Amino acid sequence: MSKHEEVYAFRLKPGEDLQKGIEEVVKEHDIKAGWINTCVGSLTRYNIRFANQSNTDTGSGHFEIVSLVGTLSVNGSHMHLSISDSSGKTIGGHLMEGCKVYTTAEIVITTTDRFDFVRAEDGTTPWKELQIKSKE
């Protein structure tokens, strides 16, 4: 691993908000460029925005976190979540505030000081997209 990288491992506990918990770690460590390495755990409530939709979809029950990926920065993060229910049905989309941890969410984040991740409109889409600023 490069001398420019740091790794943070943490656990969110029952009832905590998945998105808020991750953002708290990003702010606490002033992460300017990071990414999710892994996340395993479970939820009792989800709040996800599906592709090309403006509204979110919510649900309650018991769900396994089967994937969480994303870029992280105090300048704006972007995360996608996949969850499965007790029958194995899997859904996924943009992680929103309101996903409540059931038993655990075990998360590992890697960061680098070689870049700053920022979000800005660049004319390629109507949204603020990732812009990578090299510090070297």
Task: Give the 3-state secondary structure of residue 32.
Answer: coil
The whole-angstrom separation of Cα 117 and Cα 82 is 24
pLDDT at res. 122: 93
Say what the pTM is.
0.94
The whole-angstrom separation of Cα 93 and Cα 49 is 5
pLDDT at res. 136: 75
Q: Is the predicted pLDDT of residue 1 greater than 70, yes or no?
A: no
Count of alpha carbons within 13 angstroms of residue 59, beta-carbon side: 13
Helix then strand then coil, % of the chain, to nearest 5: 10, 60, 35
Task: Find the largest Cα–Cα distance for the chain.
Answer: 49
pLDDT at res. 2: 53
Which residue segments constitute the domains of the chain, with CATH numbers given?
5-134 (3.30.1330.80)
Question: What does the angle CA 101 – CA 22 – CA 61 come to, to the nearest 5 degrees?
Answer: 20
pLDDT in tens, 3-53: 689 999 999 999 999 999 999 999 999 999 999 999 999 999 999 999 999
pLDDT at res. 29: 97
pLDDT at res. 100: 98
The whole-angstrom separation of Cα 7 and Cα 53 is 33
pLDDT in tens, 76-125: 999 999 999 999 999 999 999 999 999 999 999 999 999 999 999 999 99
Question: What does the angle CA 35 – CA 129 – CA 41 come to, to the nearest 5 degrees?
Answer: 35
pLDDT at res. 3: 67
